[in-house]
Amino acid sequence: MNIGIVCYPTYGGSGVVATELGAALAARGHRVHFITYAQPMRLDKFQDNIFYHEVDLPAYPLFEFQLYALALAGKIFDVAKYENLDILHVHYAIPHAISGYLVKQMLNGKSDIKLITTLHGTDVTLIGLEPSFLPLVKFSIEQSDAVTAVSRFLAEKTKTGFTDKKDVEVINNFIDTELYKREECPQRRKQFAPNGEKIFMHTSNFREVKRIPDVIKIFAAALEHIPAKLALIGDGPERAEAERLSRELGIAEHTRFLGKQSALPQILSAADIFLLPSQSESFGLAALEAMSCGVPVVATNMGGIPEVVSHGETGYIAELGDIKRMARYAVDLLKHPRRWEEFSQNARNRAVQLFNKELIVPQYEALYRKVVAAK
């Protein structure tokens, strides 16, 4: 099939999953066309069957604000027309699904291109709740030929808040478990923890919803009981506040901010505990990446996290903001090596058995075939 994929190319879960999906589909023989305003972060190697189409944003004095949704629609129209796309798979409802709908209207029967919308979270749980956007999100969902959500939590949220007319199929996020697997890395561990300390990690886009100050506070509480180091991967608006807080709490010498990194499997292989105290997660892709590398996760019970992290088996989940409990969970696990080994193996097994790309990508292929076959 000829498949167009529209996504945000930035450092975030939806862009990562969309890019990995496109790469996996191309490896399975499909022709995949990425359509976005910048090259997706993980689309950094040549791969046959993958094509990238950049959206141009024209500068025109009359328009005070950039009209990305319209520019995107124009680019999708060109690609759909000249590449004979069978499927347009958009990740995020706003503005991608709206742009996709416009393209279908522009083609006006000249093409039977099918529009599939995958919801990743904030397009429903945050942006979609804005009064001015709510009807647009509802409309884009109901005008799609098929709609998927990355977790049961998000599917139910969508059906409750936006539509009772459209089925929302759950297709979980996924990873390449052969890429994300634990490797022995004594030298790397020594770089993070020169005196054999336990290593805590967190990775995100450092937005407010990720509760980065809670990461710092959990680590500070744990540090009172065990020697440890904290590595934070990623960047974003909350980084400066986190750096300030680490200095204020007197733990800056035990904390490293690594910024954006592409070698996540290698870095995660050095971790002992992964922290994810988010106030909202539609799925928890960062937790899954850690689990696949054999790292137990301590997280909140928000959104789709409990569908990924099995409490008492692959890690622990606690109430939002319960700093002391999350610190206690981490310390208790690290003080019992045999239990940590069991949790580590359980985490790896759960990732392989439930969220491996070889299990999930065929679900998208099956959906594409069903939608294309439908009248």
CATH 3.30.460.80, domain 186-355, yes or no? no
The C-alpha atoms of residue 316 and residue 34 are separated, in whole angstroms, by 37
In b/e form, how buried is each residue of 174-213, taking b as 16+ CB within 10 angstroms?
A: bbbbeebbbeeeeebbeebbeeebbbbbbbbbbbebbbbb
Can you list the residues of the chain whose pLDDT is less than 70?
A: 11-12, 60-66, 125-130, 375
Instruction: Quote the Cα angle for 217-218-220, to 5°.
Output: 60
Q: Which CATH number is associated with domain 2-174+357-373? A: 3.40.50.2000
Q: So what's the pLDDT on residue 128?
A: 46
Chain position carrying tokens 């937790």 = 287
Q: So what's the pLDDT on residue 62?
A: 59
pTM (whole model) above 0.75: yes
Tokens of residue 258, six digits:
């690594």
Chain position carrying tokens 């039977």 = 112
- What are the extents of the domains in the chain? 2-174+357-373, 186-355
Distance between terminal CA atoms of the chain? 17
Q: Under a CB-based contact definition with an 8 Å cutoff, are residues 250 and 219 in contact?
A: no
Fold match between domain 2-174+357-373 and domain 186-355: yes
